Amino acid sequence: MLVSRSDRGVFARWWFTVDRPLLSAVLLLMAIGVLISMAASPPVAERIGLNTFHFFKFQLAFLLPAVVLLISVSLLEPRQARRAAFLMLGLSFALMVAALFWGPEIKGAHRWINFGPIGLQPSELAKPSFVVIAAWFLAEHTKRPDMPGDVIAYMIFAIFVGLLIVQPDFGQTALVVLTFGTMLLIYGIPWILVLGLAGLCASGVMAAYALVPHVTSRIDRFLNPDKGDTFQVDTATAAFHNGGLLGTGPGGGQAKQILPDAHTDFTFAVVGEEFGLIACIGLMLLFAFVVMRILQRAKIEPDPFPALALSGLGIVFGLQAVINMGVNVSLLPAKGMTLPLISYGGSSLIGVAFAMGMVLAFSRRQPHFSWHQPAVTA
């Protein structure tokens, strides 16, 4: 469909102001995720007695709502996007509290809330919403020093981290802490506070190691593989070796036949085995393009709120991808974190679609703004 520049409709204005290369990259990642789900999930479904394409059908069912959400959010003006983030954050926090009391216990954690046959992980929607709201409060404090926006951002951060810890979900906690810490560095807090935050994080890791058995087990197995079961990590490593440069070909991989989480946490290993090192590098470059495109847009954004929001959204997206890939190649201890837009998971897909919709909304060219205008510094 051709759109004329003389057209002043909502879609026409969106089409000529949205970052189309970034939009194309995100949609391509979504498409790749569906293809990888079709390759990786059938053996897992068969092992647990489900229909062969159970996970693939669910992923496909979530794809259309995710694309609609992505486009719908990207149509919003920055002020509307901020309001949507406020509503989503409040709803997500309420659902995270509800999950603690009424959600099912899965692997010792209460992270999900069920709506009929559909399970939702509210923290996936809370992550991008928190980034946007924290960015707004920090930016408002920059514009109006009399407003305690930084204090409010710290309070929301503490609530979010507290909810994640009591679930418990230490992987997401680490991701949120790293993202918020990086946002604070961009925001420009004193180094003494940075060191204090780093010390607090280190204390939290040590406390989790000492008090939470499964955290202790994962770190011990990472530092000393002989001390426990490292089946999934060892199988993932073997998958990369088996795949070589060009892979075994679609359907030719063996790791997915025995990996319990081949469709979620270890999808990258399936890609490495069936499509090879070249495909893995291509996928990493695509993730890098998305992150660098977002950060480049943040760098040239004159308004501190969109600049900080874009930075945070790009960082949380990139960090999650790096953590997942790091676990797959044995560079990090297992964390139970999906590869954004690639791994199976409806909540993750919807959450990342919401985040990327926010990115596209904040990065749309405004009438007062030139793409090549340098950033305005305080």
Summarised one tens digit per residue, pLDDT across range 332-364 is 887 778 899 999 888 999 999 999 999 999 998
Q: Is 120 helix (H, G, I), strand (E, B) or coil?
A: strand
Confidence of residue 368 (pLDDT cuts 50, 70, 90): very low
Contact status, residue 127 vs residue 176, Cβ threshold 8 Å = yes
Q: Give me the mean pLDDT over the 102-123 stretch.
A: 83
Provide the Cα torsion 201, 205, 208, 211; round to 10°: -110
> What is the structure's pLDDT at 365?
72
Q: Which residue's entry shows tokens 């600049």?
A: 307
On average, the pLDDT of the chain sits at: 86
Name which residue leads in pLDDT, 29 or 259.
29
Instruction: Spell out the domain ranges in the chain.
Output: 16-363
Task: Determine the straight-line distance between the first and last CA of the chain, rounded to whole angstroms.
Answer: 43
Distances (CA, A) of 75 to 16, 131, 173, 247, 357: 12, 19, 30, 40, 8
**For the packed helices 304-328 and 122-143, what is the interaxial angle rounded to 10 degrees?**
140
> What is the structure's pLDDT at 110?
83
376 burial via Cβ count (<10 Å: 0-12, 13-18, 19+): exposed
> What is the structure's pLDDT at 236?
86
- Picking from 187, 136, 191, 127, the residue whose alpha carbon sits closest to that of residue 160 is 127
Confidence of residue 73 (pLDDT cuts 50, 70, 90): very high
Q: Which residue's entry shows tokens 């929301």?
A: 156
Summarised one tens digit per residue, pLDDT across range 232-277 is 788 888 899 998 898 888 888 888 888 888 888 889 999 999 999 9
> What is the structure's pLDDT at 52?
86
The neighbouring-strand residues paired with 118 are 115
pLDDT of 108 above 90: no
Q: Name, of 117-121, 170-174, 350-354, the range with top average pLDDT.
A: 350-354
pLDDT of 376 above 60: no
367 burial via Cβ count (<10 Å: 0-12, 13-18, 19+): exposed
- Helix or strand (DSSP H, E) at 178: helix 170-187
> What is the structure's pLDDT at 7?
57
Write down the number of H helices and E strands in the chain: 14, 2
Please state, in angstroms and rounded to a whole number, the distance separating the CA atoms of residues 123 and 114. Answer: 14
Summarised one tens digit per residue, pLDDT across range 86-101 is 999 999 999 999 999 9
Confidence of residue 369 (pLDDT cuts 50, 70, 90): very low
Q: Name, of 45-59, 178-192, 211-225, 299-313, the range with top average pLDDT.
A: 299-313
pLDDT of 371 above 50: no
What percentage of the chain carries pLDDT values higher than 90? 46
> What is the structure's pLDDT at 146?
87
> What is the structure's pLDDT at 337?
84
pLDDT of 39 above 90: no
pLDDT of 229 above 90: no
pLDDT of 370 above 50: no
Tell me which of 76-80, 211-215, 361-365, 367-371 is least confident.
367-371
Q: Give me the mean pLDDT over the 47-67 stretch.
A: 89
> What is the structure's pLDDT at 372?
39
**Alpha carbon of residue 72 to chain centroid:** 19
Which residues lie below 8 Å from residue 8, measured CB to CB, with a gap of 6+?
Answer: none
> What is the structure's pLDDT at 374?
44
Tell me which of 69-78, 162-171, 300-309, 360-369 is least confident.
360-369
> What is the structure's pLDDT at 2?
55
> What is the structure's pLDDT at 206?
79
**Residue 37 CB neighbours (<10 A):** 27
